[in-house]
Amino acid sequence: MPLNELLPKAVKLHGNKEAVVCGNVRMNYATLAERTWSLARGLLGLGLEQGDRVAIIHENCHVFLEAYFAAAHLGLILVPLNFRLSQNELVMILDDSQTRVLIAQHNFQDRVGGLPEQVQGLEKIIWSHRPLTGEKEDNILDYEPLLADQQKSPPPQGAIQDDDVAHLYYTSGTTGRPKGVMLTHKNVKSHALGTIAELHLTDSDRWFHVAPLFHLADAWATFAITWVGGKHVIIPTFDPLKTLLMIQEERITLSNLIPTMLNMMVNQPEADAFDLSSLRVILSGGAPIAPEVVRRIIETFKCDYIQTYGMTETSPYLTLSILKDHLKELPWEEQLVFKASTGREFIGVSLKVVDEQGSDVAKNNQEVGEIIVKGDTVTPGYWNMPEETRKAFHDGWLYTGDLAVINDEEYVNIVDRKKDMIITGGENVYSTEVENVLYMHPDILEAAVIGVPDDHWGEAVMACVVLKTGSQVSEGEIISFCKEHAARYKAPKNVAFMDALPRTGSGKIFKKGLRDHYLR
């Protein structure tokens, strides 16, 4: 079944069932479909054709769901944009993807308003949540009036094939250039089916979209929950108390949150006052999490807990820490070790941990190797980057760059990352891209960026810098400089001033030495 049949199926089986709760907006599946068809017709009216790119920059909202399904219906490629990115980063992505139309929440007008002049080929911006003025501009449209002008019946569907690209998710590149991960219709629907099977999703489930919908930590649920006729409950941005309140009020059954969110929620003094009894499982992914935090999550939410691990390149899930039946008979403390681990392989993938020669490591929870995977959820590669694609795959296996151990129960646990990627608050940050900004500073001679443990963010970005002779600059000035030239979450939380950076025998900066020094 192609993606463009999921919403019609939900209407056929669950048309009068409440599908979406988003602020004051509540709608059933029939209404969600009518709005989706209107958006699809509006996009067709702008001249978009199958395979064209349409981007969206938006907080969590029913508009995001409508964009996902309208693009799928027409065979357009949706490009979800991280709203934390700087204008320069947005320009780079829109240029690379050759996006023709951008759906944008008016909150981001300061970064988005001037994009048509900077991005060749960007023809239209469709604003949502913009105060209507009655003024007309050639390259500007408003979301609700656009939908109101269209028929509510489904437009003709594109002749979509499994291998057609459905989404482009841009991840940070090790060279500072973002990479567009191509996910096909087959990738997305295979992952949705896998989560339905693994998590036992049904039409009685109420999924809470808390993690951002531009991120695959949450976006996959758009399709899986709709496929089974469940309910989408949406909050625009995370707030710990509001999240707890909505779990109580909307009787949420499950959600996937990043550890930073969960840590903030369990540390709320009022957490025990909320009725969270509707929850059957909480999933966590996108950043490392300590076993002690897992313990507190289970104690606070009083439901099952599943640790997840995945990549944008894999739609995303690669592992889930779901206990096998016989492991449920273990003492609680031993169960907790498995629950807090990276987990066993997801139903839709084949996963191995291999040494540098490509041989399986010993399943002794000690020998370290690299995680490699293959399966129907794995990307065919990177947009316009054949060389990067070639480097990522060997003999049909995607090499993740993540180092892990594996035990005799086939549960893996990540111990380090081969690349110098930092996961802070669920966002991936590559050290190279931050270093590129630091080297732009006129007072910095050398710089190296590492990730250090942080109770709030999971990991924090730390910059180690050597200043030019005679230069003086404060930690705050360097952090502010980074925030001006890249997304704020990529800026260092701390800056260490050093006389010299440690180096290897070949003269390269020795980052492991830096990490060892600051982790002592």
3-state secondary structure 62-116: HHHHHHHHHHHHHCCEEEECCCCCCHHHHHHHHHHHCCCEEEEEHHHHHHHCCHH
pLDDT number for residue 175: 47
Distances (CA, A) of 503 to 34, 414, 441, 496, 509: 61, 26, 22, 16, 4
What six digits make up the tokens of 446?
């050398």
Q: Lowest-confidence range among 169-173, 338-342, 458-462?
A: 169-173
pLDDT at 465 over 60: yes
pLDDT at 291 over 90: no
> What's the average model confidence in pLDDT over 494-506?
81
pLDDT at 508 over 70: no
What six digits make up the tokens of 4?
């463009």
What six digits make up the tokens of 313?
């390149």
pLDDT number for residue 418: 66
What six digits make up the tokens of 202?
């049904």
Q: How much is the pTM?
A: 0.85
Q: Tell me the per-residue pLDDT of 386-445, one tens digit each, with 9 for 90 and over.
A: 999 999 999 999 999 988 899 999 999 887 666 667 889 988 787 777 888 998 899 998
Alpha carbons 467 and 471: distance in angstroms, whole number: 6
> Which homologous superfamily does the CATH classification assign to the domain defined by 3-14+25-188?
ANL, N-terminal domain (3.40.50.12780)
- For residues 77 and 54, is the Cβ–Cβ distance under 8 A? yes
pLDDT number for residue 172: 67
pLDDT at 134 over 90: no
Helix (H, G, I), strand (E, B) or coil at 193: helix
All CATH 3.40.50.12780 domain ranges in the chain, comma separated: 3-14+25-188, 238-378+397-417
pLDDT at 142 over 60: yes
Fold of 238-378+397-417: Rossmann fold (3.40.50)
Distances (CA, A) of 210 to 222, 225, 247, 298, 458: 12, 14, 11, 18, 18
From 463, 199, 209, 404, select the one nearest 317 (Cα to Cα).
199
pLDDT number for residue 132: 81
In words, the CATH class of domain 421-518 is alpha beta
- Crossing angle of helices 291-301 and 259-266, in 10° steps, is 60
What six digits make up the tokens of 219?
């976006």
Alpha carbons 496 and 12: distance in angstroms, whole number: 60
Q: Where is 231: in which H helix or E strand?
A: strand 231-234
pLDDT number for residue 174: 43
CB half-sphere exposure, 398, CA atoms < 13 A: 25
pLDDT number for residue 263: 80
pLDDT number for residue 287: 62
Alpha carbons 11 and 383: distance in angstroms, whole number: 34
CB half-sphere exposure, 455, CA atoms < 13 A: 4
Q: Which carries the bigger pLDDT value, residue 172 or residue 69?
A: 69
Parallel/antiparallel/unpaired status of strands 124-128 and 101-105: parallel
